[in-house]
Amino acid sequence: MSVGMLMLVIALLVLAGLGITHKLADLRDCRPSAVNVSLFFWAAVVMWSYTLFVKVLGQGESLFPPFTRSAVIVAIICGTCASFGILTFQIGVRFGPITTSWLIVNLSTLIPAVLSLIIYQEWKQEIKWQHPVSLLLVLGSVFLLWRDKVVLARLAPVAVAAAPGAPATVKSQATAGRAPGRS
Amino acid sequence: MWYRWMLIAFLTNGFSQFGARILQDYGLAETHAYLYLSFWYGTGLLIALATFLPLRQRIRPREILIGGIMGLCSSTGWFLLTGALGQGIPGYLAFPVAVGGSLSVVALVGIVILRERLSAYGYAGVLCGIAAIIVLTTA
């Protein structure tokens, strides 16, 4: 196995580990806002250490310019979105399975693809067949996952709530006769 | 409840990735993506602190540990993926394998180890979603 392929396989496992630890945080009763702070703190430490020690001090690369104020503003806006995204995902994963939750977050890669088509008018250059096909598959997937939640909630609310990973609030709702995940 | 939170996560996570395309438009994607991500994570930390500090609570050791693992997974995942591309692995192979593969591993762990229940609709939805991501990343 080549070095590149080995790095790819480890990247696959590391990204899967990210998804699994999201559910682990729920199972270990971690608070979403606290986990979010820890996640961004350590990731920022890694990235800033690499930037300052490897790129600036080690390789003597110039930062400002070429990195402009506009690029910083974009990073700030997108970083804000990311923080809210991970926080809401952490809250939401308490009410549903990690299998489908992690899928939905990964499906969001369609948003930058669609925005690129519209804002940068990439559709004028070419529309690749993958874009409409993946959009249809995403819509189909979202519909099927919605049906999944409806079916499970109607068939066996207590059984679903008693499943490993279901939060205490859901369990109490189910024992009180209400369907979980449908407030 | 789950669907509402996931809808917000879907939208915010999607918009957070669009910055990479803007960076590409500035001609900085290949040379300064690390600096972009430094500001990206730094801002994320400030927002996370802004939502946590008003609660006036302490972070528990297990939250530091699990959040730390997540942070390391997130940042090292990016390093490894770009490293694999730098070693000559083509993008049309790297992205579908990394994203589609991680989805499959998470689905496997969810169903086999955590014993999460899905209906036939759920399994079909997962397969449909994995197919969508693999198709998209080959574009």
Interface contact flag, A19 B102, Cβ < 8 Å? yes
Among candidates A14, A25, A39 on the partner chain, residue whose Cβ is nearest the Cβ of B80: A14
Tell me the pLDDT tens digit for each residue of A76-130. Answer: 999 999 999 999 999 998 888 887 888 888 888 788 878 887 888 777 776 778 7
Under DSSP, the state recorded for A94 is: G
Q: Are A175 and A158 in contact (CB under 8 A)?
A: yes
Q: Please, where are the H alpha helices in chain B?
A: 2-25, 33-52, 61-86, 91-95, 101-108, 120-137
pLDDT band at A183 (very low <50, low <70, confident <90, very high): very low
d(CA A94, CA B73): 21
In chain B the first and final C-alpha atoms are separated, in Å, by: 34
- Express each pLDDT in B43-93 by its tens digit: 999 999 999 999 989 999 999 999 999 999 999 988 888 788 778 777 666
- The amino acid present at B54, given as its one-letter code, is P
Confidence of residue A26 (pLDDT cuts 50, 70, 90): confident
Q: Which residue has the tokens 């669609």?
A: A114
ipTM metric = 0.86
pLDDT at residue B40 in the model: 94
* Residue B40 token pair: 């990206």
User: CB of A166 within 8 Å of any CB in chain B?
Assistant: no
CB contact under 8 A, A160 and B117: yes
